[in-house]
Amino acid sequence: MNQRTVLPFVNPATGEHFGRLEATTLAEAEAVVREMHAAFPAWSRKPIAERVAILREFQRALIDARDEISAVITQDTGKPRQDALIEVFVTVDMLNDTCRHAAAWLGRERVSQGLYLFKRCYVERRPYGVVAVITPWNYPLAMCVPPMIAALLAGNTVVLKPSEVTAATGALVERLFKRVPALAPYVRVVHGDGSVGAAVVNAPPDYIFLTGATSTGRKIMRAAAEHVTPITCELGGKDAMIVLADADVTAAAEWGVWGAFFNAGQTCMSVERVYVATSVYDDFVAGAVAAAERLQVGHDLSTEAPYQVGPLTSPAQLEVVERHVADAVARGARVVAGGRRTGMFYAPTVLVDVTHEMLVMREETFGPVMPVMRVASEAEAIRLANDSPYGLSASVWSRDVAHAEAVARQLHTGSAII
């Protein structure tokens, strides 16, 4: 089907419709990939130094537009204006870092010749061609621009498919790239739902970079396999936080609450389950409840707004949060902070008396919920943390770095924060 649909811009905090755009048709999405294939030779032939200089122009465009960007993100996601500005800062910092190291990372590297004693051997990095970047709604700038920049610096052209949930930010990113005439011919943005993303994947591109839900990853990996297209996925998480008996409990409670409720818990590396040693459990729960109840929930477009927690961005995600909390309570958990919904807002929630049979300990919640579980030993904490199909990240709290590292090494995660 190539029927034209419309994507509305809706502020989840207020329900206000503040704009719209026409979605890309499936035929147009396929044509965009072909266009970027045609543009690839010209971009890939440019020296790295020239590509860096062009991307530095884009960096300046981002900085100049910081107020415009943060205002759109706040309207599009409902998150506090300060959090939207953090997205801008993180994006600019990552762009700066990638530009600074691009020449070294992409340069020719001499490697061992092995048994070829009279030969010299090198590795050269070559661009794939067209990179499709498919991005989520929770950080519609910070999860979108950095992979595009990395692909472009390496000499690839890019097709971006931003989330239709935050279509206004996707449209803004498209406008920002168009503000750099030397870069604009090598980037295209397609707008729409999963069918548009599928059209891009099946066009096909030469590489796919996906950040999104695990269910989306499965679908795209199956489609990519049909064309043997290489793919990198960053999917869901159920990050475990372990608080050891020798931890600074006050700091663990304060920063654990930050990790659980920043961006209303809509972060793949949010603290989603907490295991606390029995000897410090009561103090930790008291500290976490106090910290959670100090957070102000609300929405205001002003940069001076006092709110730390905004709404859930997606109605579907709010349903998940409510289902997980209801399931936990039905199975014996107690709500000791929060647990209340007002429109699209869900109060920062702390649960105790949780067990591993509950959905809130098994499935990704992706919302402002912190379930806390008492553990009798370090070994039990490690076992429970590893009892999950997810393995994105985790955190370990201890005053003894060597002790924390010894625990972290036993966790089956891609990263561990001490």
Contact 240, 225 (CB under 8 A): no
Chain centroid to CA 288: how far?
25
Question: What's the CA gap between 211 and 266, in Å, rounded?
Answer: 13
**Catalytic one of 35, 233, 234, 380:** 234
CB 33 within 8 A of CB 24: no
Active-site residue (options: 30, 268, 364, 378): 268
Which stretches of 332-410 are assigned E, i.e. beta strand?
334-337, 341-342, 345-346, 349-352, 369-375, 393-397
Gap between the Cα atoms of 236 and 331, Å rounded:
25
Kindly state the helix (H) or strand (E) to which residue 231 belongs, with its residue range: strand 231-234
Distance CA 152, CA 45 (A): 12
Q: Which two tokens stand for residue 410?
A: 């036993």
- Token pair 């029927």: residue: 3
What DSSP line would sit under 153-207, residue for residue? Answer: HTT-EEEEE--GGGHHHHHHHHHHHHTSTTTGGGEEE--SSHHHHHHHHTS--SE
What does the alpha-carbon distance between residue 407 and residue 402 come to, in Å, rounded to a whole number? 9
Is there a catalytic annotation at residue 121?
no
Q: Are the CB atoms for 36 and 130 separated by under 8 Å?
A: yes
Structure tokens at 46: 């440019």
Q: Is 144 known to be catalytic?
A: no
CA distance 153 to 349: 42
Query: Would you name the residues annotated as active-site residues?
Result: 234, 268
